[in-house]
Amino acid sequence: MKKKNKNEKIMRFSFYYTELPAFAEYLQKQEENGYRLKKIEENILTFEKCEPRKIRYCAEIFRSATHEDFIELCKNEGWEFVDVYHGELFVFRTQDEDAIDIMTDQQEKNKACAKRILKQPGIWLCLFYIFKDLLRIFVNVDFNDIFELSIINYIYSVIIALFFFSVFIRIVDYFIWKIKVSRSDSKENSEFFSLKNTLIKRKIYNVFSCLTTIISYGFLIYLCPKFFLKGPILLSALFLIFAYFTNNNFGEIKEKKWRNILSKSTKTIFCIYLFALAFFTIFNNGAERLMKSYSDSLNATYNSQNIPITLSDLGVEAETFENEIRVKGTSLVHFYTVISDAEGLYNEDDDSYMSYNILITDSSYIQQKYIKQILKDYDEYEKEFMKVTSPETQWDYYYKIKHDDETYYNGFAVKDNILVNIDWGVNCEVDFFEVAYDKIFGE
Amino acid sequence: MIKLPRKSLQTLSEPMYYVLLALTKELYGIEIMNEVRRISSGRVNIGPGTLYTMLDKFASNGLITRTNHSISTKSYIITDSGKEMLKEEYNRLSTLIENGREIMEGMR
């Protein structure tokens, strides 16, 4: 509880729409203690000091209400308008004990409440699933970006899990309320919503929601520091901001209170940026590993393991090459490409190239995804034809793919958690896979 | 078919019935509530929120129409569709009473 000035009291408070009578009761008690509700903003209630008095409060949901008409109607029945929250939750008070309740039709009241409760999780879940599919249009399914695809799936899993959990609480609360409504005596309207003194519970929920949001953002930043500002991640972040913004500013959008919207969206984006920045700083040690490249040595290292495949082993003497290593969690990919003038494996009339990728991963999911990417253009018959599992090879299996124009070959071999993928030009006599095997697994 | 707020029953609730009865003449907000009290001899009281919701639904279903759009005196009156609905409901209620009359009198 903070005191803004000596005549005001500011309370952080959140409640579910199943708790409106409890909320009204809370406001009544505050006024009996000398604090009258002045306004509601997000999770903040502002009270002003007043003479303690007995008064009735009423909080009701009206989704289609035009403020002036509705307030005028209630005023004529002795109700004083206090404030409206999100353009749909109206709060009134009256000193007239005989003033008729604002909502006398309990069924309509329950229906309005139920719609409001389910609106929020419903919108978020629908938007997530729609956006997830749309995002695939923008994601470049690149052979080298296998990590990125996995990360996107992971991020969505984390985010969806987060929101499933937070909305799960709301849905459970909704069903508990529905059961109580159906069992209660219809005359005892005030007992339909039975939660009392829920402040502590709501605070725990809020703290937990904040923590899980922070953790999910932490994972987001930790797992993809290189791609932090890249397309799909940026889109995901923008989507989150959009979902949060529209949900919390629905009322203001309806009322076209653009200044309020601008102010709130600034705070929202700023808060998210601060969290992201904090965790980017703390957890972003992966970025340094990604920037390493080996320009002199042709050896790749992963933890303490050397993978000493060199182009010389493969009979290639090269002057220019690209060499990149990407590490993500427990997975490593070493990309190595010769882009010109390599002796020993090419047709003299064509531009030559040779490349190999070594994927080391404990994740069978990533390994299978990698394989699917290579084989995506072939049907099952062709894949069987290419597959070599003869006992003569020491790999678990390997594929050799000869392309139609016979200008280059592509193949990959798998053993345990290691996959070696090689592309090479024609006129090559070296059995690359056996060379690779000896180098990786040989003594 | 006109969709009523109580879809499952396809009948008017008591407050809805009285509001339509009241709106057989042009009335605005507070007058509607007073008229309902008068017709029902104080038995039926409709809250401003309930009335507001009801008027909105009736208007969107074509049972009533707004006749004055000024903020302070937005008035309504029943439409032909609303009259038809009211007559159906009245006949239904009358049938219920008629059907029960003989039995109820026999019980005395």
Q: Which residues pair with A423 in a beta bridge?
A: A355, A410
Q: Sheet holding A320-328: strands in order across?
A: A320-328, A331-340, A354-360, A418-425, A408-415, A397-402, A387-388
Residue A155 predicted with pLDDT over 50? yes
pLDDT tens, residue by residue, A267-320: 555 555 545 544 444 443 333 333 333 322 333 444 334 455 555 666 666 555
Query: Average of pLDDT values for A253-274?
Result: 55
Across the interface, which of A62, A69, A102 has its CB nearest the CB of B74?
A69
Residues of chain B positioned with their CB less than 8 A from the CB of A101: 47, 49
Residues constituting chain B: 108
What pLDDT score was predicted for residue A239? 52
ipTM score assigned to the predicted complex? 0.75
Q: Which residue of A has its CA nearest to B5?
A: A108
Pairing verdict, β A89-94 and A300-302: unpaired
Q: The whole model's pTM is what?
A: 0.49
Interface of B with A in 11-40 (CB under 8 A): 13, 15, 29-30, 33
Residue B88 predicted with pLDDT over 70? yes
Across the interface, which of B30, B45, B49 has its CB nearest the CB of A60?
B49
Cα–Cα distance measured from residue A379 to residue A377, given in angstroms and rounded to the nearest whole number? 7
Which pLDDT band, with edges at 50, 70 and 90, does A427 fall under?
low
Residue A361 predicted with pLDDT over 80? no
What pLDDT score was predicted for residue A135? 47
Give which of A15, A118, A97 is closest to A55, Cα–Cα: A97
What pLDDT score was predicted for residue A142? 38
**Locate tokens 């072939």: which residue?**
A378
**Do A102 and B71 count as a contact with CB atoms less than 8 A apart?**
no
**Do B47 and A68 count as a contact with CB atoms less than 8 A apart?**
no
Query: Average of pLDDT values for A238-257?
Result: 52
Residues with Cβ < 8 Å from A202, sequence gap 6 or more?
A13, A14, A15, A16
Which letter does DSSP use for residue A101 in this model? P
pLDDT tens, residue by residue, B26-75: 998 888 999 999 999 999 988 888 888 888 888 888 899 988 755 556 78
Residues with Cβ < 8 Å from A132, sequence gap 6 or more?
A156
Residue A257 predicted with pLDDT over 80? no
Across the interface, which of B15, B29, B71 has its CB nearest the CB of A76?
B29
Mutate to test the interface with B, among A62, A72, A111, A115 (most CBs of B within 10 A): A72
What pLDDT score was predicted for residue A57? 92
User: Of the spans A320-329, A409-418, A422-431, which averages the highest pLDDT?
Assistant: A409-418
Q: Distance from CA of residue B61 to its chain's centroid?
A: 13
Structure tokens at B30: 């507070």
Of A161-170, A190-199, A422-431, B85-94, which range is least confident? A190-199
The verdict on B43 touching A (C-beta cutoff 8 Å) is no
The verdict on B5 touching A (C-beta cutoff 8 Å) is yes
CB A339 within 8 A of CB A321: yes
Å between B71 CA and nearest CA of chain A: 6
**Do B51 and A73 count as a contact with CB atoms less than 8 A apart?**
yes
Residue A190 predicted with pLDDT over 70? no
The verdict on B45 touching A (C-beta cutoff 8 Å) is yes
Cα–Cα distance measured from residue A285 to residue A297, given in angstroms and rounded to the nearest whole number? 23
Which stretches within A334-404 are classed as H helix? Answer: 364-375, 380-386
Share of chain A above pLDDT 90, in %: 4
pLDDT tens, residue by residue, A51-110: 999 899 998 887 665 677 788 888 888 899 998 887 778 899 999 888 888 888 777 777
Which pLDDT band, with edges at 50, 70 and 90, does A243 fall under?
low
Q: Which residue of B has its CA nearest to A106?
A: B50
Across the interface, which of B15, B47, B52 has its CB nearest the CB of A65?
B52
Give which of A369, A336, A365 is closest to A353, Cα–Cα: A336
Query: Average of pLDDT values for B14-22?
Result: 92
